[in-house]
């Protein structure tokens, strides 16, 4: 049901690959709530996914961009403002990839060139996105910029590997650039730390089904779904959250505040 929370707002959504993507669900919700936006992903991801189908549903234009390329991002922000007819009110960064995870490299035997690639794609790209937006003066005052993260930035999880360092860097960038953007333009910058979610990226992590089952038992409300995360993103893009910035917002059913739950006790004492 639409409440027109984003009526008249314009934005860019990164990372919608297929209907399992959180970014895909955010796009559908943003469209439902009255927003107009462009969709973007790396050219290789566009070939793999079904983003044109999403674009048709949302009346959006797809603009290919490698988020690690400043030149591509400059073109993306310039064209988005042309297509949408003005400055932007929201940006979603839903990007993450580790070659070390993809290639099943042990944490003690990482390929460091690949690790740098992980950082560039999954974290530094967020800084590049905001730096380009700032230089182009592409954001309206009180705009909202979000990135999706995971609690592995604070806690260790087997097989999450160098993505944990990337998420920690992502959250740090959000705080540092959040201070700058608030001071310069009253733009707010936050990260949302989502429950483990069966997306294309998430399913590439070893033992992910066990991650999800454990988190479900450790979360009093259960795991937050991708659809629920999309709702949270919409609230953060709306004017209802204008004074929230530089925060890592936990969207995990209570997982991050739970020491142990009855479900875990019951399982351990069977």
Give residue-wise pLDDT tens across range 138-192.
Answer: 999 999 999 999 999 999 998 899 999 999 999 999 999 999 999 999 999 999 9
Q: How far is CA 163 from CA 74, 120, 150, 157, 200, in A?
A: 26, 11, 9, 10, 15
pTM for this predicted structure: 0.95
pLDDT of residue 2: 77
Dihedral sign (CA 181, 185, 188, 191): negative
Report how far residue 155's alpha carbon sits from residue 232's, in angstroms, rounded to the nearest whole number: 23
* Structure tokens that stand for 158 in this block: 């087997």
Beta-ladder partners of 148: 192
pLDDT of residue 200: 62
Percentages of the chain per state (helix, strand, coil), in multiples of 5: 50, 15, 35
Contact 172, 216 (CB under 8 A): no
pLDDT of residue 45: 78
Could you please report the per-residue DSSP string of 83-100? HHTS-EEEEEE-----HH
pLDDT < 70 positions in the chain: 1, 49, 200-207
Could you please report the per-residue DSSP string of 157-195? -TT-TTHHHHHHHHHHHHHHHHHHHHHHH--EEEEEEEP
Block residue for tokens 């690639």 = 117
Report how far residue 262's alpha carbon sits from residue 240's, in angstroms, rounded to the nearest whole number: 35
């Amino acid at each position: 049901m639409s409440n027109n929370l984003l009526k008249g707002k314009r934005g860019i959504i990164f990372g919608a690959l297929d209907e399992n993507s959180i970014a895909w669900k955010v796009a559908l919700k943003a469209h439902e709530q009255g927003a107009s936006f462009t969709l973007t992903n790396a050219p290789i991801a566009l070939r793999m996914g079904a983003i044109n189908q999403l674009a048709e549903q949302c009346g959006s234009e797809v603009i290919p961009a490698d988020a690690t390329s400043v030149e591509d991002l400059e073109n993306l922000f310039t064209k988005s403002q042309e297509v949408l007819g003005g400055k932007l009110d929201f940006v979603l960064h839903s990007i993450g990839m580790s070659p070390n995870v993809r290639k099943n490299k042990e944490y003690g035997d990482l390929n460091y060139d690949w690790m740098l690639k992980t950082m560039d794609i999954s974290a530094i790209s967020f800084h590049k996105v905001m730096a380009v937006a700032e230089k182009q003066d592409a954001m309206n005052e009180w705009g909202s910029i979000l990135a999706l993260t995971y609690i592995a930035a604070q806690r260790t999880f087997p097989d999450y590997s160098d993505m944990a360092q990337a998420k920690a860097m992502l959250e740090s960038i959000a705080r540092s650039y959040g201070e700058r953007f608030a001071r310069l333009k009253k733009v707010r910058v936050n990260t949302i730390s989502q429950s483990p979610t069966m997306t294309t990226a998430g399913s590439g992590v070893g033992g992910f089904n066990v991650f999800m089952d454990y988190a479900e038992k450790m979360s009093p409300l259960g795991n937050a779904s991708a659809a629920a995360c999309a709702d949270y993103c919409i609230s953060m893009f709306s004017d209802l959250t204008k004074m929230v910035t530089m925060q890592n917002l936990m969207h995990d059913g209570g997982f991050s505040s739970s020491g142990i739950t009855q479900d875990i006790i019951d399982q351990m004492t069977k």
